[in-house]
Every structure is written in structure tokens, then in C-alpha cells.
Amino acid sequence: MSILLQGPERDATCAARWLRSGFLVSIAVAAFSVAAHAAEVDATAVPDTIKQRLTACTACHGEQGRATNDGYYPRIAGKPAGYLYNQLHNFREGRRQYPMMTYLVDHLSDAYLQEIAAYFADQHPPYPAPQPVDPSSATRERGEALVNKGDPGKKIPACIACHGSAMTGVLPTTPGLLGLPRDYLVSQIGAWKNGARHAFAPDCMAQVAQRLSAEDIGAVASWLAAQPVPAGATAVAPGSVKLPLACGSVPGSAE
């Protein structure tokens, strides 16, 4: 049964309805204004730049990819773009194993990996001071010998034979090894030795690592971590080094 309202009672009911409607409209307008303002603030505060998009990288690798000399995460600033691209590609394809890196690059295109690599290759912040290590004199001598002369008896080429005479890398794909933490160097050479890390075949670094003993790995890593980085250190030009082994990561060396 319907109830018909008359006179003042009807007018009061209509007024209440109009007030409720107006109140809801006001709330909707206010909410829209807040959301629009928040979006405007966000758009202003977070510019869509490659630097901003790579915040996930610098959270571990440090501002500009500079890292530090006492942690596990390596410096990626200034590394050859070809090397950085190869490593990002290796993480995506499973040749390198580190869950956080795999998660970050798993769905990124080759073009975007190249953009990331180019960005960090163009960064040149100062290097930290050498890492304070104090191995025995025998360990220091062994490390220096392996880096500069290798060990012909074990068919181990000198590190400088691939990474350049100053160990600052060779364009386009061979990294410098100075300015990296000892623990990181040990872990990566060890990963090649035990098969956890791979590169494009033929995997020259894996071949070298198989010939290194645990003591050799520690000696090389300790010696490298203790060396100062030359002022203005950059990777040398392509073709400056004749590789002692065919290396799938270096264009032309495996042909």
C-alpha cells in the first residue's frame, strides 16, 4: 500500500532527498579532485626517465651503478655496454643464476636490455678506494703472477691477456676487473668453476676457471681487489688484445 504525502510533509521529504543527492555529488566531486591532484603530483614527482625506471637496479648496485668496495653486488657503471647486455641476456636465458636478477629481466625485450646496458655503460662515477686485504706474501705473489703471467704449466692464460694490460676491460664485451669486491670475484670465478655460471659457447672463462684451484681463485681475487683503479680508467679499443682462447662472448673470436 502506497502512502501519499501531502503538504509540508511532502516538501520535507523532497528536501531531504535533494540534500542527500547533493551531499553524494559533493563527495564524488571531492574524491575526483583529490585523485586528480594526486595523479598530478605523482606525475610531477616521478618523471618517466631511464634513470627513474632503473631505480630497481641502483637499489643494489648503487647510485649510477657505482656499488661499493665491500659488498657482494658488483660495480656496473662504465662497464662495456656489450658486456652488460650479455649478462642481462644471460640472466634472462638462465646462463647465470640469481633469482632477483632473473625476476627483474625475465620479461624484458632485447631492445630494453640494450637500453639498460647503454645507460650504465655511460655512467662514470669515481671508483672507491681499494679494498683492504692482507693475504700472505705467497698469496699476493701467486695472485699477481696469475693476473700478469698466467700459469703455462696448468695452461692458464694471464688475466691481462683477455681483460687488457691495465685490467680495465676491452670493448665491446670484456669487462674490467679492478674496483670489484674480493667476495664478488671469488663467487663469480667459483660459479664458472662449478658450472653455475655460463656464457655463450665456447665459454672461455669456464675453461680457465676449471684449471684454477680454490687457492688460485682466492689469490687472484685478493690481488685484484687490492689494486687501485687508474685515473680515467676505460675499456680499451676493440682489437687491442689478441685472445689466447676462442670466446663466444667476444664477437669474431670464435670464428
Per-residue pLDDT, 98: 92
Q: Is 124 annotated as a binding residue?
A: no
In a domain, residue 240? The reply is no
CATH number of the domain bearing residue 70: 1.10.760.10
Specify which residues 156 forms β-bridges with: 151
* Chain Cα centroid distance, residue 1: 74
In a domain, residue 248? The reply is no
The domain tally of the chain equals: 1
Q: Is 101 annotated as a binding residue?
A: yes
The torsion defined by the Cα of 175, 181, 186 and 187, in degrees rounded to 10, comes to: -90
Q: What does the alpha-carbon distance between residue 7 and residue 239 come to, in Å, rounded to a whole number?
A: 99
In a domain, residue 238? The reply is no
Query: What residues of the chain score a pLDDT lower than 50?
Result: 1-5, 8, 10-12, 14-16, 18-19, 23-30
In a domain, residue 203? The reply is yes
In a domain, residue 35? The reply is no
Per-residue pLDDT, 76: 97
Give the CA radius of gyration of the chain.
Answer: 29
Q: Is 198 annotated as a binding residue?
A: no
Give the residue numbers spanning the domain of 86: 51-225
Question: Which candidate, 95, 213, 44, 242, places its Cα nearest to that of 143?
Answer: 213
In a domain, residue 124? The reply is yes
Q: Is 247 annotated as a binding residue?
A: no
Q: Is 100 annotated as a binding residue?
A: no
In a domain, residue 38? The reply is no
